[in-house]
Amino acid sequence: MPGAMRLSRSVFQLQTLLGRAGRSLGLARGSSTPAPGSMDRGNVISHKDMKVLVDSRNARIIDVRLPGEVANGHIANSVNIPVAEVEEALKMDPETFKMKYGVDKPRMDDGNLIFHCQMGRRGAQATEIAINLGYAKARNYAGGYKEWSEKEVK
C-alpha cells in the first residue's frame, strides 16, 4: 500500500505541475472543470485572515485530515471530514450532513468555507472538489494545521 500511496501522490504532483504549466502558457482547457492545482490566489487564505475568522467564529472550517491526526490537535470550531469523504459529504442533503457531522451543511454561496489539512495539499484537493461542486467561494488554508500549531498553540 505505501507504494500505491506514493504513486497516487506522484500523479497528483504531476497533475499540479501540468496545470500550472498550462496556465502559465495561457492554454485553455477543453473542460470547464479546473485542473488539479488550478486554484488561484483568491482561493487561498493566509494565517492572518484565518485567525480573524477563527476568532470571530464566522467561518465554516473543515479539517480534511484523518481522525487520528485530528486527535493530536485541531483548529477551534473545525469539523473533521477526511478528504476522501468531502465530495460525498458536500453532495448530501442538509439533514443527512447535520446528522453525520453535527453541524449545518455549508451553503453554496458561503464566503467563509475554509478547508485545511496538515500542510496544504489535501486542503487544496478538498477546496477544488468543493469548487467543482459549485462552492465557488471555497478557500484553502494552505499553511494547514502545521502552521496554525506553530503560531497559535502555546
Which residues are CB-neighbours of 121 under 8 A, at least 6 positions away? 12
Q: Is 64 tagged catalytic? A: no
Q: Residue 103: which region, alpha, beta or left (left: phi > 0; alpha: psi -120 to 50)?
A: beta
Residue of 117, 126, 129, 142 with catalytic role: 117
Taking the C-alpha atoms of residue 20 and residue 50, their distance in angstroms, rounded to an integer, is: 25
Taking the C-alpha atoms of residue 130 and residue 151, their distance in angstroms, rounded to an integer, is: 27
Q: Which residues are catalytic?
A: 117
